[in-house]
Structure 1
Amino acid sequence: MMRNIKTVLLGGLLLSSPLSHADFFDDFNNNSVEGWQTFTGDGDAKLKFLPMDGFARMQVDATKDQHNIYWTIIKRDVSKSLDMEKLKSPDYELRVEARVRPSASPRRVNFMINTQRTTDFHEHLREYDLGLKPDWQVISMTTRNFDAVPGDQVNVQLSVTDWGLGEHYLDVDYYRAEVVKVKNAKPDVGEPLVYHPPIPALDTFKQHVKVKHDATINSAFPLVNFNNWKSDDARVLTVSAGQYPLLRWDLQNYSGKKAKGAGVLELTTQSVQKGGDYIGALGEDFGIEFDKVRVFEILGGDTNWQQNSVTFASFTQGKDLQSTINGQMIFDTDVAQAGGKTLVTIPRPVMQRIIDGTTHGLLLQPLGALEVSFYDSEHGDGSQAPKLHFSTRAD
């Protein structure tokens, strides 16, 4: 879900806050965003944090971005508003909460909390899938073993990353940060998702479902069906510039069931061709994002495409390809070498949408000048076909 959030700006910036009460709360009702700082990185997105009528807006302009690799952050030091003596005690943690509204859905946002001494910037970072409706909703996160003592600056952040090219916004009705006693802390709201969670052993899942339809579409030849694509004598799905594999499962047997935790997409690599000094050209922080495969949810287009007939034109139905998918990828993944397994976490909310049929499958795109082939469902005995591994609450 999901890239490395850079540490270049996530450490401490010495800010001052005029607040002196026990907890921090900003409802933006004074037509001001004073005290908040904005940052952007990686690609070419711009961010403005604007006071509106009773709320504030993160206005993201990614119209000049090329690769949909960017992050935008609002950040504030709230330490002067907190009881830091309590916060240093293991009996207390910091809870942040915000009421937000996205311009498009589904999309993810994330909270992060750190101090000027933080070295692990993922420890107190959680992502939130905002669901299918761009409505107001509350999200919250409570830290675990947060290391903060009197004299530290406590930075609270809210981030929009990789939402797609074009213009987007996230409205913020209020932002709260409070020191809470662990034993009395309320459950967090909005299903906090661990950033880059470890992938469990596949045999811990109850369901292992092979893809029903898989094919490759090519934007340069929009009327051609490429289901018989091969690498030597192997039937494969190739991810490259302008060529995108589609994956669709038949999960009617699980209709009405609820996903239990995240799922895993399994792909078996047939070959990988990659190279290029991205770091030398783009810098380390940006350059390391390339030579990966991006996994997207399919939300539109022809939702009942058939592998033996689908083409780029028939799938997109005359629309832009990006309008058929969630503009924010599920995950950017490194690819296993030939013969290896590429395993991709499918977060629980996305897995639920796949089970419900709201998400109509997955689309793969290259991130960088690479070419990767995975075995398709019609190769050999089908044992190396793309698979979804997941469990449901009824299992």
Structure 2
Amino acid sequence: MSVMTRISPFLFCALSLLALATTARAQFRDDFGGGKIEGWFTMAGDGEAKVALVPHDGFARMEVDATADRYGAWWTLIKRDITASLDLEKLKDPAYELRVEARVRSSHAPRRVNFMINTQRTTNFHEHLREYDIADTTEWHTISMTTRNFDAVPGDTVFVQFCVTDWGLEKYHVDIDYYRADVVRRDEAGPDLGEPLVYHPPVPELSTFAQHLAVTHDSMINPEFPEVNFNDWHVATVDGAARVLTVDGAEWAVLRWDFGALRGQKADGAGVLELTTCSLALGGGYIAAWGQDFGEEFGKLHVIEILGGDPAWDQGTVSYKNLMQGGSYADVFNPQMTVDLELAEQPGGVAHFTLPRPVMQRLLDGTTKGLLLRPLGALSATIFASEDASGRGPKLHFSTKRE
């Protein structure tokens, strides 16, 4: 007998009324069920992506067309003024915060979406921004974010946003079943749903991690020479030949770790990828050409999940062709980068890139077969490879737990 069969009619009715009461308490809620979508507007920038919010039967579809984009650094969003629905007098009390929630379904996975909340006075647009890793295309996912120290008082205009960013160069959509927002007591709000991820979180002390794993296989692939293996790549230095990986427009680095001893364990939080610079050439007037917001995205390194292709590629034989195994770029690599940051400019300098917990879990599970390093912009970088005698090759710092 199912659990639902054992629930008494009285209890079932009571639970139903409770659910209805919870729904009714929402200070702002849009169920997108009226055919025409009102109050929301769309925005896009940092590239050539286009976005539309289209009504469907009981949900809204955020449609994104990025096929005309060149660099994959675009953003799109839907935004709405919800000031009239909120008690801003209560919200100015530090005991209260704003909580937003949505139920969403994605056309592509894994992909991240994000919430952002701001007012007309906001200057730090990342403070109340959280990302969510959507792992499949078949299920609805409920996600929520509760602000911390949200600065909104009577007279302000409060905006809520839902954003799709950097997904690639194809057509995509996200379905939104509902979107709600409530002023809540911080101590009564409960945990947020869907594992909110901080955008570009600070890097913790590496000593706090239990595992410090050197890369097992690292090499380079080159789409212009698809049959060639480049594992003997090296540069001459004053100390002799150095084994390196080059990352530029044509040369991409690939990294893979052996997690065999940790199979079945769960990632305990985010991990950190460590890369040590051998040399770095970069420049270019991107900001002068495209403005501050778009221009500052360039001159960075993209860290990308390898989702397809040969799962057991070997550094001594890997090439673009045999890694891809006939698949397209979007079949093998996640077009949405995991993180993008600057390398250290000085030779021997170390850079750390935070990998969110869901990405670490996919690496541990083998769902993600490794990491691809590509540049955004016309930089040319060399980082020390695993063969470096001083041990400066790529490393992964992380912790695991058993469940």
**Is the TM-score greater than 0.5?**
yes
Distance 2:279 2:146 in 1: 43
Q: In structure 1, what is the equivalent of residue 397 of structure 2?
A: 389
- In 2 relative to 1, CA 152–192 (structure 1 residues): closer, same or farther, beyond 3 Å? same
CA contact (8 A) 1:212 1:250 kept: yes
Cα distance, 1:133 vs structure 2: 4.3
Which whole-Å deviations, capped at 9, do the CAs of 1:180-211 have from their partners, x for residues lacking one?
12221121000011111100111111100001
Distance 2:130 2:392 in 1: 33
Distance 1:105 1:227 in 2: 31
Q: Per the alignment, in what secondary structure is the counterpart of residue 245 of structure 2?
A: strand
2:76 to 38, 61, 72: 72
CA contact (8 A) 1:74 1:159 kept: yes
Q: In structure 1, what is the equivalent of residue 257 of structure 2?
A: 249
- In 2 relative to 1, CA 137–22 (structure 1 residues): closer, same or farther, beyond 3 Å? closer
2:190 to 186, 189, 197: 186
Q: How many residues align?
A: 375
1:102 aligns with 2:111: no
* 1:129-168 → structure 2 map (5 Å cutoff): 129-168=133-172
CA contact (8 A) 1:105 1:134 kept: no
1:362 aligns with 2:366: no
Q: In structure 2, what is the equivalent of residue 342 of structure 1?
A: 351
2:131 to 113, 127, 134: 127
What stretches of structure 2 of length at least 5 have no aligned partner?
A: 1-23
Q: In structure 2, what is the equivalent of residue 114 of structure 1?
A: 118
Which whole-Å deviations, capped at 9, do the CAs of 1:314-364 have from their partners, x for residues lacking one?
011122233201110001110102210111000011011111111110001
Give percent identity, aligned residues only: 59
TM-score (norm. length: structure 2): 0.91
1:47 to 51, 54, 61: 51
Q: In structure 1, what is the equivalent of residue 6 of structure 2?
A: none
Q: In structure 1, what is the equivalent of residue 331 of structure 2?
A: 323
Which whole-Å deviations, capped at 9, do the CAs of 1:110-137 have from their partners, x for residues lacking one?
1011111112211111111112444211
Q: In structure 2, what is the equivalent of residue 304 of structure 1?
A: 312
Segment of structure 1 superposing worse, 318-327 or 250-259: 318-327
CA contact (8 A) 1:50 1:56 kept: yes
Distance 2:202 2:372 in 1: 23
Which is richer in helix?
2
Q: Per the alignment, in what secondary structure is the counterpart of residue 129 of structure 1?
A: strand
Q: Which amino acid aligns with 1:41?
A: G
Cα distance, 1:36 vs structure 2: 0.1
Q: In structure 2, what is the equivalent of residue 24 of structure 1?
A: 28
Distance 1:221 1:172 in 2: 43
1:374 aligns with 2:378: no
What stretches of structure 1 of length at least 5 have no aligned partner?
A: 1-19
Segment of structure 1 superposing worse, 320-329 or 303-312: 320-329
Which whole-Å deviations, capped at 9, do the CAs of 1:16-65 have from their partners, x for residues lacking one?
xxxx9860000000012210011001011000011111100110000000
Cα distance, 1:227 vs structure 2: 0.4
CA contact (8 A) 1:21 1:81 kept: no
CA contact (8 A) 2:300 2:343 kept: yes
Cα distance, 1:104 vs structure 2: 0.4
* 1:279-294 → structure 2 map (5 Å cutoff): 279-294=287-302
Distance 2:388 2:158 in 1: 54
TM-score (norm. length: structure 1): 0.93
Q: Per the alignment, in what secondary structure is the counterpart of residue 108 of structure 1?
A: strand
CA contact (8 A) 2:248 2:381 kept: yes
1:220 to 224, 248, 257: 224
Q: In structure 2, what is the equivalent of residue 259 of structure 1?
A: 267
Distance 1:321 1:137 in 2: 27
Distance 1:367 1:324 in 2: 19
Runs of 4+ in structure 1 deviating by more than 3 angstroms, as ranges, are: none
Distance 2:80 2:362 in 1: 34
Q: Provide the aligned C-alpha RMSD in A.
A: 1.4
Which whole-Å deviations, capped at 9, do the CAs of 1:132-171 have from their partners, x for residues lacking one?
4442110000111111112211100000000000100111
- In 2 relative to 1, CA 276–33 (structure 1 residues): closer, same or farther, beyond 3 Å? same
